[in-house]
């Protein structure tokens, strides 16, 4: 293992523009002032704020709203993050006391369903009602995407009934944590922005992300958006003092401390699925010693696997309980008793960073990561506070330390050999360090080819909305502008894309005898369909209302101890729970589940399995295209429920892409992200092979794989990417 010392970080202050009202004693950071200026500049349409994690990007986003000058729709990638930000915004309003007392509402899929039921409204009417009662509407980009796509409407409604009203009502659209979006989600956001640009007066769009995207900026520029990047790193607005005296000088000059000094230790892990979990079990005493030797410590363990969290939590809970310390799962809950108990814990273990480093203040962190951006984001949760509060007392932290559980090859790139860029014990500033992480961590594919190959499929559908007989005259100029902008941004011909869409529809009708277009449905969905999603009743959850979940079949086959259940029994139990507890449980997400199961526990060891196809997969792989697969099954001899699963699975028609190469080889050669959904699959000729010779991706993952696989070539038995 190797350790380095990261210097503290201080952010440059700036004077607020004339007329800006701030709470007493508040001082704005440079990037907050520059963001406000850019949003007020009539020559700027899109603003990117790339300030470091913990440097107040949220305040920068809402500062103009808090002056009572505009209405905002804020879009967060997870419902848990949206809930967290709702609390933050309400706190801002209480402190700023804006004259217009803006109303804040949050709208997620489950909340929309419950709200619509309680008010006796259709979902479209519920969205209109909720948004009409809001000066700040906090939601997710999924809903933003679907309402512009024409979802939530009846056949009698005009396609613009919802989005035209919402686009007019809100002046500012905020996209937070934008770096977590993959190419399909970025393409959806681009399409929606182009529609707004063409059909409405100019709006403001604000992207908050510590990881700027040069390709997104280029595409926005091509579409005629006028962009400005607020980058305090490039502007030299951070300082990293070496001494306490230097830090004291900065504080006297009103520079704000963004991050404290951190001792960071790299723990090299073997590239196996349970390496980190094994290390944590083997080093329980090391972890416990942090809390015994430094009383008042608060810690977090952030992992990549939910199953690992479920297995580790009871182990640490039992160990810590002997010393009067508490351990909780970090599930990202939005409120109530569960959240209060979680925030009061000494150690949280989870996959979510919600609350960690915000409400749950920590001085000790152990974390896994999947790529450079994920590494930087998780490490950024540490060192943001001088201490925490317990029993109405301020408890200062005694130093800050972190353990990064990372692949051994990454540690070697940083510290070993002639090419080493760090040395054990080195002191380093954050900017230099983050640049090294981005340079040396495994590079993952950004699927740049997706935009040209699939991005314009949604463009065609949006253009068809504008051709609606009831809208054609109103939007004739907008249609031309939207059409031309989409062809520039996605470097494609919309008429040709429309021809491809028609071809998929014909193939589907020939295969199934039904109307529809599953491939186009995946290409126009925000996150793609979930054909393998199952309804899950989680008996390991102590609270009844939290037991109703969804889980994808591959994760179930690998990690869970289950019992098959019927849809009727699942929904009956849900209704009984609602009646008994009085708490609503949205059930819309269970409507199209593949099957329903009871979760009894998490397996200690992952089980092997593979998908199988009843025929010969070679012709399907040789087609080198996205297609619909029918008759899919699983092969898992030790699973007593395999037969029941197969009876349901083989009835499904699933959008897929099949490659004649094993999963491991495809992952390595195509630099796929850690959680990219690609699985082994065999046919009748290979079902008994030790390793499945084919790989398969489904839904949106199939479209992403297609953007790379169509460029594969065979050269002397080797595959290379052109």
Sequential DSSP letters for 386-398: SEEEETTEEEE--
Contact 159, 153 (CB under 8 A): yes
Residue 336 has pLDDT above 60, yes or no: no
Mean pLDDT (whole number) for 376-405? 91
Say what the pLDDT of residue 334 is.
38
| Predicted TM-score of the model (pTM) | 0.91
Contact 212, 229 (CB under 8 A): yes
| 219 vs 95: CA distance, rounded Å | 38
**Closest to 200 (Cα-Cα) out of 482, 494, 524:** 482
Banded model confidence at residue 675, pLDDT cuts 50, 70, 90: confident
Taking residue 714's Cβ as centre, other Cβ atoms within 10 Å add up to 9
| 677 vs 361: CA distance, rounded Å | 33
Mean pLDDT (whole number) for 107-114? 81
Residue 95 has pLDDT above 90, yes or no: yes
Element spanning 470, H or E:
none
Mean pLDDT (whole number) for 680-706? 93
Banded model confidence at residue 716, pLDDT cuts 50, 70, 90: very low
Share of the chain above pLDDT 90, in %: 68
Element spanning 560, H or E:
strand 560-565
**Closest to 179 (Cα-Cα) out of 375, 384, 367:** 375
Element spanning 555, H or E:
helix 553-559
Give rounded-to-5 percent helix, strand, coil for the chain.
40, 20, 40
Say what the pLDDT of residue 444 is.
85
Say what the pLDDT of residue 194 is.
95
**Closest to 433 (Cα-Cα) out of 383, 358, 362:** 383
Say what the pLDDT of residue 720 is.
39
| 427 vs 432: CA distance, rounded Å | 11
Element spanning 521, H or E:
helix 518-524
Listed ranges 43-47, 153-157, 208-212; the one with the highest mean pLDDT: 43-47
| 693 vs 458: CA distance, rounded Å | 34
Least confident of 15-29, 210-224, 418-432: 210-224
Say what the pLDDT of residue 337 is.
55
Residue 717 has pLDDT above 60, yes or no: no
| 542 vs 533: CA distance, rounded Å | 23
Instruction: Compute the mean pLDDT over every residue in the chain, rounded to the nearest whole number.
Output: 90
Q: Give the CATH fold of the 260-440 domain.
A: Rossmann fold (3.40.50)
| 354 vs 377: CA distance, rounded Å | 12
Element spanning 379, H or E:
helix 372-379
| 424 vs 266: CA distance, rounded Å | 10
Residue 252 has pLDDT above 70, yes or no: yes
CATH 3.40.50.300 fits 10-238, yes or no: yes
Give whole-number Cα distances, 373 to 25, 358, 673, in Å. Answer: 34, 19, 12
- Do the bridges between strand 653-659 and strand 694-698 make them parallel or antiparallel, or are there none, so unpaired? antiparallel
Banded model confidence at residue 386, pLDDT cuts 50, 70, 90: very high
- Domains of the chain, by residue range, sit at 10-238, 260-440, 449-507, 533-602, 610-721
Say what the pLDDT of residue 719 is.
41
Residue 713 has pLDDT above 60, yes or no: no
Contact 53, 262 (CB under 8 A): no
**β partners of residue 703:** none
Element spanning 550, H or E:
strand 548-552
Sequential DSSP letters for 51-67: PPTTS-HHHHHHTTGGG
Strand arrangement, sheet containing 172-176: 104-107, 136-139, 72-75, 172-176, 204-208, 46-49, 227-230
The pLDDT tens digits for 312-325 are 999 999 999 999 99
Say what the pLDDT of residue 373 is.
84
The pLDDT tens digits for 439-459 are 999 788 889 999 999 999 999
Strand arrangement, sheet containing 596-602: 548-552, 533-538, 596-602, 560-565
Pairwise pLDDT comparison (330 vs 566), residue with the higher score: 566
Domains 10-238 and 260-440 share a fold: yes
Contact 46, 228 (CB under 8 A): yes
Contact 634, 704 (CB under 8 A): no
Least confident of 177-181, 397-401, 589-593: 177-181
Residue 520 has pLDDT above 90, yes or no: yes
Which positions ≥6 away from 78 have C-beta within 8 Å?
140, 332, 354
| DSSP H helical ranges for 53-108 | 57-62, 79-96
191 CA to centre of own chain: 19
Say what the pLDDT of residue 273 is.
79
Least confident of 177-181, 251-255, 375-379: 177-181
Q: Return the HEC string of 198-258.
A: HHCCCCEEEEECCCCCHHHHHHHHHCCCCEEEECCCCCCCEECCCCHHHHHHHHHCCCEEE
Phi, psi angle pair for 659, to nearest 5° = -120, 140
Q: Could you tell me the end-to-end alpha-carbon distance of the chain, in angstroms, rounded to an integer?
A: 38
Residue 272 has pLDDT above 50, yes or no: yes
Residue 550 has pLDDT above 50, yes or no: yes
Taking residue 697's Cβ as centre, other Cβ atoms within 10 Å add up to 26
Contact 700, 531 (CB under 8 A): no
* Positions of E strands within 642-704: 653-659, 678-682, 694-698
| 686 vs 660: CA distance, rounded Å | 12
What is residue 252's three-state secondary structure?
Answer: helix
Contact 397, 428 (CB under 8 A): no
| 510 vs 506: CA distance, rounded Å | 6
* Positions of E strands within 261-374: 262-269, 299-302, 327-330, 347-350, 364-367
Say what the pLDDT of residue 419 is.
83
| 545 vs 290: CA distance, rounded Å | 35
Element spanning 135, H or E:
none
| DSSP H helical ranges for 97-172 | 109-119, 123-132, 141-149, 163-169
- CA 183, 187, 188, 192 dihedral sign is positive
Which positions ≥6 away from 194 have C-beta within 8 Å?
223, 459, 482, 485, 486, 489
Say what the pLDDT of residue 622 is.
92
Say what the pLDDT of residue 711 is.
58
Residue 213 has pLDDT above 80, yes or no: no
In the DSSP assignment, the letter for residue 268 is E
């Amino acid at each position: 293992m190797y350790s380095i010392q990261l210097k503290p970080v201080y952010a440059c202050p700036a004077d607020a523009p004339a007329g800006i009202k701030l709470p007493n004693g508040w001082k704005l950071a440079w990037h907050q002032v520059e963001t406000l200026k850019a949003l007020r500049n009539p020559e700027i349409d899109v603003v990117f704020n790339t300030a470091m994690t913990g440097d107040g990007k949220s305040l920068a986003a809402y500062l103009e709203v808090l002056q009572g000058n505009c209405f905002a729709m804020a879009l967060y990638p997870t419902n848990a993050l949206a809930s967290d930000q709702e609390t933050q915004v309400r706190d801002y309003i209480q402190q700023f006391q804006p004259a217009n007392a803006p109303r804040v509402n949050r709208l997620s899929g489950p909340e929309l369903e419950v709200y619509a039921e309680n008010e006796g409204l259709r979902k479209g009417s519920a969205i209109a009602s909720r948004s009409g009662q809001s000066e700040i509407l906090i939601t997710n980009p999924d809903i933003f995407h679907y309402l512009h796509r024409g979802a939530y409407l009846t056949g009698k409604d005009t396609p613009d009934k919802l989005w035209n009203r919402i686009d007019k009502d809100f002046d500012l659209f905020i996209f937070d944590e934008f770096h977590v979006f993959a190419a399909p989600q970025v393409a959806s956001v681009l399409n929606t922005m182009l529609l707004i640009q063409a059909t409405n007066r100019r709006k403001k769009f604000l992207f908050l992300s510590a990881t700027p995207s040069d390709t997104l900026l280029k595409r926005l520029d091509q579409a005629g958006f006028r962009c400005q990047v607020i980058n305090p790193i490039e502007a030299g607005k951070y300082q990293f003092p070496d001494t306490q005296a230097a830090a004291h000088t900065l504080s006297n000059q009103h520079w704000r401390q963004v991050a404290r000094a951190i001792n960071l230790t790299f723990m090299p892990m073997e590239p196996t699925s349970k390496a980190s979990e094994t290390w944590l079990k083997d080093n329980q005493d090391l972890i416990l010693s942090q809390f015994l030797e430094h009383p008042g410590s608060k810690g977090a363990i952030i992992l990549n696997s939910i199953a690992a969290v479920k297995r580790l939590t009871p182990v640490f809970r039992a160990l810590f309980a002997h010393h009067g310390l508490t351990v909780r799962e970090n599930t990202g809950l939005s409120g109530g008793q569960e959240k209060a108990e979680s925030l009061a814990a000494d150690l949280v273990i989870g996959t979510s960073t919600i609350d960690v480093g915000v409400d749950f203040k920590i001085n000790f962190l152990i974390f896994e990561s999947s790529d450079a951006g994920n590494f930087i984001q998780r490490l950024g949760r540490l060192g943001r506070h001088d201490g925490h509060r317990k029993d109405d007392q301020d408890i200062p932290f005694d130093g800050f330390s972190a353990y990064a559980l990372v692949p051994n090859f990454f540690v070697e790139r940083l510290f070993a050999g002639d090419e080493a860029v760090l040395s054990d014990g080195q002191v380093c500033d954050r900017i230099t360090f983050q640049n090294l992480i981005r340079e040396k961590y495994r590079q993952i594919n950004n699927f740049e080819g997706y935009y040209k190959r699939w991005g314009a499929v949604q463009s065609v559908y949006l253009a068809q909305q504008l051709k609606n007989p009831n809208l054609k005259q109103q939007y004739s100029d907008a249609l031309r502008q939207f059409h031309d902008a989409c062809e520039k941004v996605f470097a494609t011909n919309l008429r040709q894309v429309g021809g491809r869409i028609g071809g998929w529809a014909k193939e589907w009708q020939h295969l199934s005898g039904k109307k529809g277009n599953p491939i186009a449905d995946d290409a126009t969905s925000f996150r793609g369909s979930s054909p393998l999603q199952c309804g899950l009743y989680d008996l390991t959850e102590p609270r009844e209302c939290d037991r109703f979940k969804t889980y994808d079949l591959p994760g179930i086959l690998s990690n869970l101890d289950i019992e098959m259940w019927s849809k009727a029994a699942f929904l009956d139990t849900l209704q009984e729970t609602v009646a008994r507890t009085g708490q609503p449980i949205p059930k819309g997400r269970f409507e199209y589940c593949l099957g329903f199961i009871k979760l009894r526990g998490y397996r200690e060891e992952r089980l092997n399995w593979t998908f199988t196809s009843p025929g010969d997969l070679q012709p399907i792989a040789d087609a080198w295209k996205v297609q619909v697969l029918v008759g899919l099954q699983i092969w898992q001899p030790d699973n007593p429920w395999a037969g029941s699963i197969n009876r349901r699975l083989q009835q499904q028609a699933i959008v897929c892409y099949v490659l004649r190469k094993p999963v491991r080889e495809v992952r390595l050669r195509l630099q796929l992200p850690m959680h990219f959904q690609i699985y082994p699959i065999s046919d009748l000729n290979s079902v008994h092979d030790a390793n499945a010779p084919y790989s398969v991706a489904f839904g949106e993952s199939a479209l992403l794989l297609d953007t790379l696989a169509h460029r594969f070539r065979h050269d002397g038995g080797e595959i290379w990417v052109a």
